[in-house]
Amino acid sequence: MRTVLLLIVFFGYMPFAKGQNDISQERLEEFRKLTEHRVADFQQYLSIIADKKASPEQKKEAIDLTMDLFIEGAKMQVSGRDGKPRPPQPIRGYLNRLSGLDKYTKIEITSYAVAAVSKFEKGPDGDYHATATYFQQFKGFDSNGKLLYGSQDRKDIAVSGKTGNKDMKKDDLKIFFGDIVVRETIPLNGQ
């Protein structure tokens, strides 16, 4: 009987204990909003890095700011000219290549739809996870303004909200971007 009572107390306490550590939906919504801002920042940085008119100083700043968003080891997937996804590459390598793309005289990277961020859910690792979907349009032109290559890509970013830092309050998260995966590529006219 005593054992049964102990088991009831134990299992009765467990959900309560778990619930106490969960971050409220209202707070998670704030972090979702923050993530939306950071995705918009990321897209702006890509635009700067690819812009041939941007100064080296500004490009370097944009690359550093981009790297601040990502967890170490994060990778970026891109599509080839055939529209098929290529193996992922380290973010910094991708950014450096984007900055130095010399086959185009002019590059425009813009967004063709508003990015969306899913709700944060708690994972088995105790951290919170979401997916940010952004919509990128890439256009590369020659010196005559002719479109050499263009595409519209829908990409997903794995977003983590990390807890557990001893300096943080219990309902604080540190937001990091993880790997970026291409979900869809639509070539544009001009290829």
Partner 1 sequence: MGAYITHLNQIQKMFKQVIIKPFFCKVVVLLLACSQASLGQTFHALLIADTRDTKIGTSCETDLIAMNSKMGEVAKAIGYIYHPIIISEQNFGRAAIDSVLSTLPCTPKDILFCMYAGHGYTVNGRPNIFPLLLLKDNNGWGLDDLHLALKNKHPRLCITLGDCCSQLFPEKIPPSMRCIFRGIDVSKDIDILSKLFIQTNGDVIICSTQSGELAGSWPTYGGFYTRSWLEALDFAIGSNTQVTWENLLLDSKLRLNTFINMTFMLSPHEKPRQTPHWRINYGGIAPSPTPDPQPKPLVSFVDLNDFLNQLADENQYPLYETRAAIRESKRNIFFVPEAEIQIFINNPEKPVETQSLTRFLSRLVNNAQQVKQVNVIERHSISADNGKYQVLTVQEVR
Query: Which residues of the shown chain bind partner 1 in the complex (CB under 8 A)?
Result: 27, 30-31, 33-34, 37, 40-41, 44-45, 48, 54-55, 57-58, 61-62, 64-65, 68, 171-173, 175
Pairing verdict, β 121-122 and 128-141: antiparallel
Would you say 63 or 182 has its CB closer to partner 1? 63
Would you say 14 or 168 has its CB closer to partner 1? 168
CB 128 within 8 A of CB 120: yes
Would you say 89 or 111 has its CB closer to partner 1? 111
Residue 137 C-beta: closest distance to partner 1, Å: 16
Would you say 2 or 169 has its CB closer to partner 1? 169
Residue 173 C-beta: closest distance to partner 1, Å: 8
Would you say 127 or 171 has its CB closer to partner 1? 171
Q: At what angle do helices 56-69 and 25-50 cross, to 10 degrees?
A: 150
Closest CA to 63 of 81, 51, 79: 51
Output b/e per residue, 158-190; b: 16+ Cβ within 10 A.
bbbbbbeeeeeeeeebebbbbbbbbeebeeeee
Residue 118 C-beta: closest distance to partner 1, Å: 17
Residue 33 C-beta: closest distance to partner 1, Å: 5
Which residues are within 8 A (CB) of 85 and not within 5 positions of it... i.e. 6 or more apart?
A: 77, 78, 79, 181, 182, 185
Residue 174 C-beta: closest distance to partner 1, Å: 8
